[in-house]
Structure 1
Amino acid sequence: MKFKPYTRHTIKEAPQWEKLSAEQRESVAVVSRVLPFRVNSYVMDELIDWDNIPDDPIYRLTFLHRDMLRPSEYEALRDLVFIDKDEQKIEQMVRQIRMRMNPHPAGQMTHNVPHLDGRPLSGLQHKYRETVLFFPKAGQSCHAYCTFCFRWPQFVGMDELKFDAKDTSELVEYLKRHQAVTDVLITGGDPMVMNARSLANCIEPLLAPELAHIQNIRIGTKSVAYWPQRFVTDKDADDVLRLFEKVVASGKNLALMGHYNHPAELRTRIAQQAVRRIVSTGATLRMQAPLIRHINEDPAGWAELWTTGVRLGAVPYYMFVERDTGPSSYFELPLAKAYEVFQAAYQQISGLARTVRGPSMSAHPGKVVVDGIITLGGEKVFALQFLQARNADWVRRPFYAKFDSKATWFDQLVPAFGEDRFFFQQSSPSAREEEVLEHRISLVAMKRVRETQASSPLGVS
C-alpha cells in the first residue's frame, strides 16, 4: 500500500467521505480550523469500521467532532466559516479557542525548556534529571493525528508555542555538559515520518564516545499503529532496521515508545509484522497510551492489547490519564473510573504483561500514579505516588488525596486527613541546591564513564 494522507483540504477525495452524514462533514470542516486533522489510507481502509461510525473507536480517534468545542464556540465558528467567510475573523476566533485549551500543559513551555549559555533551547525539554526530550524539526508531523493529542500545538501553526530543532548540534553540546542525563527521547510529532537518512542524522551523533553517559535512546512513535509499513514495506524500511541494529551494536539500548490506543491497531497482519521486525533488531518496543472516553474504556480491550503485544515481543509500559489540554472535556474520565478500568484490565493479564503502570498523570511536578482507592482512618482516599518527579526525593513516596468521584486531573485533588498541602508543596530545593546535586551526579557519572572506557579495548566502550 502506498502512503496517502488526507487533510481538511483533501479529505473530500477519500472514497469514504460519502459515508459521512452532512453533520459529520460539517464537524470536520469546522473543528479542523482549530485542531489538527490528518488521516491516511491505511487507517481509512484497514482500521475504521465504516458500518459503525461515528461510534467506531478509530473513527473517533482520528475524525473531529463538534462536541470537541463548546456549543457556543462551534456555532459561532460554523457561521464564520460557512456564512461570513471572513478569514481574519476566523483566525481571531480560532486563536482565542486554542489559547483557552491550555496549549502547553504541565509546565512544558515555562519550566521544561533548558538553557545553554543563557539561551533557551526551543528544540529540547528537560523535566527529569535523567531524561532529555529532543524535537527534530523534520519530525514534527505524524502519519495521522489523534484527536486527543496533547501535542496538538505542534501541528496547527502556533510557531511561538512549537518545539523544534534544525539539527543535533545544540542537543549534543547540552548533553556534554549534563553528564547525569542517561536517556534521550526523540519525539514530536513523530520522528518516524523522517526518512532513514534524516533519522540517522538525529541518532548517530548520540553514539559518539564523548556521550558514553547516554545509555538509552528512545523514539516516541505512533507509526507502529497508523503506518506499520514504515518498518515492513516502505522503500527504506530495511535501512531503518539497520539503523536500529547499529544503535544496539554500539552498546546502547534503543526503545521505541509505541503509542497504541486500541487493540484494533494491533490486529492487522502488517502491524504484527512491524512489531516482530522491530524487536528482531535488538530494539525494545514499549506500549503506552492514555485512557480515553469514547475510545478505550473497555478493560477487555486493554487486556487484549497488552496480551497481544507480549506475544509479539513488546512490553506493556503505561496507561496514562488524558492530559488537561485541547478538547480534554470530550475525552476525560474521572480518576476513579480510570483506576477501575486499569484494575479490571490488570486482573485479566498474566505476569508478563504486568509490566504496565497506571493510571498515570504527567502533571507539573511529575508522573503521578493512582495506586488505589482505599479507606484509611475512616476516610476514603486516593493512594498516590510519583513514578518520576522533578525532585528525585519525591519518587515512590506514598501520599494521599481526598476521594473525589468527579476529579479528572491531579490539580483537582486536595490532600486527605485535613492537611493543607501535599508533602511536595511544603518545600522544594533551591536553585543552588539543585545545581549542587546536578554537579555531584555529573561527577559520579563521569567517573563511571572513565572506568568503563579504561576497561574497554583501546579505551572505547
Structure 2
Amino acid sequence: MGYRKYITRIDQIPELDNLNEQQKQTLNSVVKRYAFRTNEYYQSLIDWEDPDDPIRRIVIPSADELEPWGKLDASGESRYARAPGLEHKYADTAVLLVSDVCGALCRFCFRKRLFMDDNQEVSRDVSAGLAYIRRHPEINNVLVTGGDPLLLSTRRLTEIVEQLRAIDHVRIIRIGSKMPAFNPFRILDDPDLLRMFKTHSRPDRRIYLMAQFNHPRELTEEARRALDMVQQSGVCIMHQTPMIRGVNDDPTTLGELFNELSYLGVAPYYLFQCRPTEGNAAYTVPIEEGYQIFAEALKTCSGLARRCRYTMSHATGKIEVAGLTAERIFFRFHRPADSEQSLSNLLVCARNPKACWLDDYAEAKSPLRLARNSFH
C-alpha cells in the first residue's frame, strides 16, 4: 500500500524544526490565511538540503505569501456560476466543482478561496449542476474538478460519471487532477477506479484526465506507472501547468517536462500564466519573460511536445500569448467567453516587461490595436 498520511500542520514536518520561533510564527500566519496540506509521499520528493528545492517551493508555505497582491477570484469565475457547484463560461463546456480537498495544496493555487471556511462555490450535491447541463444541449464537454475529484471516494466519483454519461449530448468528461503527481498510489492501489475508467471511457465518448505536473521530478517511477495504468484503461491524458517562479521558470526544466510527458504519451496542453491570485506575487513570472522562457523551451522539444499553448485564463476567456517583437506583444483569443469574439483578431500591445496579466497593459495605458472588444 502507498503513502496514506496527510500533513496539515507545519509542526508535523521535522525538517522545519530548525526554524526560529519568529519564522515558525510567520509560517503559521500564512497557514492561518491560506490552507496547508501535503502528504508523506510528496514530502519524500523534497531535497531538504537544497533551500531552493522546487518541490519544496510547490507545497511548503512561504512568508512571501503575505505580500499584499492580487485578489482571490482573479479570473472572475464567480460571474459564470449558473448553479451550485457549476460554472458555464464557454458555450460547449461546463465546470463541475465537486471537491474542496486536494492531495496537497499548491502554494500558488488559483482557487485557494475554495479552501477557506466561508466559501460556498463547491457543491457535493451535483444534482442542480447536472440538471443545468441536461437543459443545455450545447454542452458537450464537462470538466469535473475542484479541489481534486480523485479525493472523492471511487464510489462517489463513479456516481457522478455515470450521471454525466447518461446525458446524451455530453461527449467528453474531463477530470482535473494533480493526484498522479501528489500521490499516484491513489491510482495504483485502486483497481475499482481503473475499472470505472475502462467502463465509461468509450471509443466515441472519451474520459480525459487533465493531469498537472509542475516539475520533471514529480514524474517518479510510481507516477509513470499510474499514468500508464490510466492510459491502459482507455483514458486520454492531457497535461497542464502554470509557469511558477523557482519551479519551472527556465527553458531547460520546462523543455524536459514537456519532452518527458510526450515520451509517456501525455500531451502537453496548456502552460498557464500564473493568475494574479492573492498571495501569488512571489510565484509569478511576468508575461514577456514567461513567453521567452516558453519559446526557448520549445526549441528543445519535438513537434509532439510543442503542442502546448501559453495562455491566460482571463475573465474574458483563454487568451494565448502569440508572440513578441522588440516593441510589441501579441495576444489572441484561444477560447473567448463571448462566442461573438473572432478568433482571428490579434490584440497588439506595446511591451511592458512588468506586466503579469492582460489588464496590466491597459493600466499602463499601453496602445492596443486590432482588438474588436474590450477585455474589461
Instruction: Please indicate, yes or no, whether the TM-score normalized by the shorter chain is above 0.5.
Output: yes
Q: Higher RCO, 1 or 2 (CA under 8 Å, sep at least 6)?
A: 2
Taking the TM superposition and a 5 Å limit, the aligned residue runs for 1:67-146 are 67-70=64-67, 101-109=70-78, 111-114=79-82, 121-136=83-98, 139-146=99-106
1:391 aligns with 2:338: yes
Cα RMSD after superposing both structures: 2.1
| Structure 2 SS opposite 1:395 | coil
Residue 132 of structure 1: CA displacement? 0.4
SS of the residue aligned with 1:239?
Answer: helix
Whose radius of gyration is greater, 1 or 2?
A: 1
Distance 1:339 1:19, change over 3 A: same
Q: Deviations over 1:222-275 (max 9, x none)?
A: 101001111112xxx111111111112373111111111111111x11011011
SS of the counterpart of 2:162?
A: helix
Match for 1:424: what amino acid? N
**Matched residues in 2 for 1:223 and 1:23: separation?**
33
Once the two structures are TM-superposed, the CA of residue 325 in structure 1 deviates from its matched residue by 0.8
After TM superposition, give the deviation of residue 24 of structure 1 in Å.
4.5
Out of 97, 102, 122, the residue aligned to residue 164 of structure 1 is 122
Q: What secondary structure sits across from 1:278 in the alignment?
A: helix
Of 48, 51, 55, the match for 1:50: 48
Partner of 2:168: 212
Distance 1:313 1:14 in 2: 35
Query: Which runs of 5 or more structure 1 residues have no equivalent in the other structure?
Result: 71-96, 115-120, 429-461
Taking the aligned partners of 2:116 and 2:213, their CA distance within structure 1 comes to 23
Q: Quick one: distance in 1 between partners of 2:312 and 2:287?
A: 10
Distance 1:394 1:300, change over 3 A: same
TM-score (norm 2): 0.94
Query: Runs in 1 of length 4+ with deviation above 4 angstroms?
Result: 19-24, 415-421
- Please report how far the alpha carbon of residue 416 of structure 1 lies from its aligned counterpart in structure 2 after TM superposition: 9.4
Unaligned ranges ≥5, structure 2 = none
| CA–CA distance in structure 2, aligned partners of residues 168 and 149 of structure 1 | 23
Give 1:331 shift.
1.3
Instruction: Note the 1:406-445 alignment, pairs <5 A.
Output: 406-414=354-362, 418=367, 422-425=371-374
User: Relative to structure 1, is the Cα distance of residues 23 and 286 closer, same or farther in structure 2, using a 3 angstrom cutoff?
Assistant: farther
User: Shift in Å at residue 21 of structure 1?
Assistant: 5.3
Deviation at 1:13, TM superposition (A): 3.2
Matches within 5 A, 1:36-435: 36-45=35-44, 47-53=45-51, 55-70=52-67, 101-109=70-78, 111-114=79-82, 121-136=83-98, 139-159=99-119, 162-208=120-166, 211-233=167-189, 237-249=190-202, 251-266=204-219, 268-358=220-310, 360-374=311-325, 380-392=327-339, 393-414=341-362, 418=367, 422-425=371-374
User: Relative to structure 2, which stretch is displaced further, 245-254 or 148-157?
Assistant: 245-254
Offset at residue 219 of structure 1 (A): 0.6
Partner AA of 2:160 in structure 1: C
C-alpha distance in 2 between matches for 1:396 and 1:386 = 8
Change (3 A) 1:422 1:158: farther
Is the Cα–Cα contact under 8 Å of residues 19 and 50 in structure 1 kept in the other structure? no
